[in-house]
Amino acid sequence: MKFCSDCGHAVDQLIPPGDHLPRAVCPACGTVHYRNPKVVSGCVPIWEGKVLMCRRNIEPRLGLWTFPAGFLEMDETSAQGAARETLEESQAEVDITGLLAVINVPYVSQIYMIYHGTMRSPHHGVTPESSETRLMSEEEIPWDDIAFPTIWHGLKFFFENRTKGVQDIHTLDLMTRYGRRPEVTTGSKD
């Protein structure tokens, strides 16, 4: 940030009194501007036991597979964001039925909140963001063509829960951007 979004004056990078990190501080109006992680909200939509997957029609990772997910908007809950993203990326309407996972991705300053979702009907289709949508069983998931590690892990958590017959909430810290199975720390809430 170079200019104050409140008054337009050039900002200084300094540690404000009582803080511990450099911040963009406006010397004219005194506003301290904070940079915080972005929240990504996603949904694993289910219809008759199959997961609705979307082939990305946008960068990054054009042509690879994901479940619906995207940045949270202002004035919506993370569950509302997951339902909205599902509609925007697949035309599917879902009922959010619970939290599946929270995945911290500090190397890109993101926090993923992934939800279970039950599709209200079998309707789904392409959108500007998805060139293809398809209901898939676990065996049909294109594991080598998953767009992001967060999606790969979210799917693994979903199928692990289903195998165990539970609805655990998983947590995961992705500490590196390399590989499908990066260095992680995990835990689950019973």
Q: pLDDT per residue over 5-33, tens digit each?
A: 999 999 999 999 999 999 999 999 999 99
Is 9 in the same domain as 99? no
Q: 169 is in which domain, residue-wise?
A: 38-189
Give the span between the Cα atoms of 186 and 149, in whole angstroms.
Answer: 14
Contact 61, 146 (CB under 8 A): no
Residue 94 pLDDT greater than 60, yes or no? yes
CA-to-CA separations, 158 to 32, 76, 99, 167, in angstroms, rounded: 40, 24, 11, 8
CATH classification at residue 158: 3.90.79.10
pLDDT mean over 128-137: 98
Is 67 in the same domain as 101? yes
Is 148 in the same domain as 73? yes
Is 103 in the same domain as 171? yes
Give the span between the Cα atoms of 41 and 86, in whole angstroms.
Answer: 10
Is 80 in the same domain as 172? yes
Residue 56 token pair = 């990305």
Q: Where are the alpha helices (DSSP H) in 44-145?
A: 78-90
Confidence band, pLDDT 50/70/90 cuts, at residue 63: very high
Is 4 in the same domain as 52? no
- How large is the greatest C-alpha to C-alpha distance in the chain, in angstroms? 60
Please tell me what DSSP assigns to residue 3.
Answer: B
Confidence band, pLDDT 50/70/90 cuts, at residue 141: very high
pLDDT mean over 67-74: 98
Element (DSSP H or E) covering residue 161: helix 149-164
Is 80 in the same domain as 28? no
Into how many domains does the chain fold? 2
Give the span between the Cα atoms of 95 and 160, in whole angstroms.
Answer: 21
Residue 154 token pair = 């979210």
Is 82 in the same domain as 143? yes
CATH classification at residue 16: 2.20.70.10
Confidence band, pLDDT 50/70/90 cuts, at residue 103: very high
Is 74 in the same domain as 132? yes
Is 48 in the same domain as 119? yes
Confidence band, pLDDT 50/70/90 cuts, at residue 178: low
Please tell me what DSSP assigns to residue 39.
Answer: E
Q: Where are the alpha helices (DSSP H) in 63-145?
A: 78-90
Confidence band, pLDDT 50/70/90 cuts, at residue 177: confident
Residue 187 pLDDT greater than 90, yes or no? no
Is 53 in the same domain as 123? yes
Is 123 in the same domain as 159? yes
Q: How many residues does the chain have?
A: 190
